[in-house]
Structure 1
Amino acid sequence: MDIVQEVLQKQKKDLEKYKPITVEKHLEVTVDVGHLMATDPNYFDDDSFKKDQEQYLMDLTRDNTQLLINAVWELPTEREEEAVVAKMPAPKTALPRARKLPVPKPLTKWEEIAKAKGIKKRVRDKKVYDEVLDKWVPTYGYQRFKAEKEKDWVVEVPQNAGKPRTKSPG
């Protein structure tokens, strides 16, 4: 029986090393699982902090992290491939921006006049479909010249043109 008692005492000592997963606080900790964030509104004990800063912060962090992990374990889960995944809810807390919102640039004089009169910039098409060539050709630019050459590859000679010039014999 001594061996059984010894094993039980050893197990009890081992369990005392680990803290429980249930955490009790005076005020409830606000947990935002969407951001994986816990906010602790409880009183910060100055006396305990001054005695042993490191240990106090470790205990406080451990308790708040345990509450956050408990909240994650309460979420619904699903199996994807070879892993169990928790369905994260939408965040509750609105986080502030890192920078200010950008200020819109003021309108130029021309933009003000155009807006007042309802003038809109006309958008020119870069290419137009040519039914004769049966393809898209540029509206303007140097490639348009090539397209015009392809289009007018035959030039009719008018009736009043007369005889074509020929080389004189000799």
Structure 2
Amino acid sequence: MALLILTMVRTGEGSINSLGAGGLITLEERDTLIAFQDFSFDTDGWDRAIQENSLPGLGPVLDGSVDTAVERVFALPEETALATIRFDMFLNGGWGREDTIHIILGEIQTLALGWPSDNSELVTFARDGLSVLAQSALLDPIRDNHRVARYSVELAVSFPADRLTLRLVPELVDGAQSNWAIDNVSVVARGPEA
């Protein structure tokens, strides 16, 4: 419980509470917390992960390389009826109009995010047992006078397999100096109704 409170204090200002991002997770009776990482402590389980203090004021984050995909596999309990992954994605540096980061669950490209065209955008859709919710916000410049875009992302998968792979793949065309980071990753498995 102390870990959740510390994370809320660290990322509380400007958090997008509608998605439950920023460290606050409310579990129901049939929920199981599979993972919670705010990267202040470790990067366990991530492929090619770099823990770095690249976003001053937020503390350590999982820092993505410009051209390297990063992934993590989450083992789920048997009879999981719904798996929900939440995280904050940060785009900083010189993101161009053509630059995107692809969010892939298993073999399914779920979402492609780029620099938001407005201060706040909401992306939401559902199909084939998958629901996606992503809300963006432009933050004040925090380094080198570059603005930072933050997306709070929630992905929910109905009746997933026993393992769920989250893969983040950058595709940079214009932004040779672009980089990205994630923080506050949580995975919750909901069991079947009684």
TM-score of the pair, normalised by structure 2: 0.18
Give the number of the structure whose residues are more often strand, by fraction.
2
Question: Higher Cα Rg: structure 1 or 2?
Answer: 1
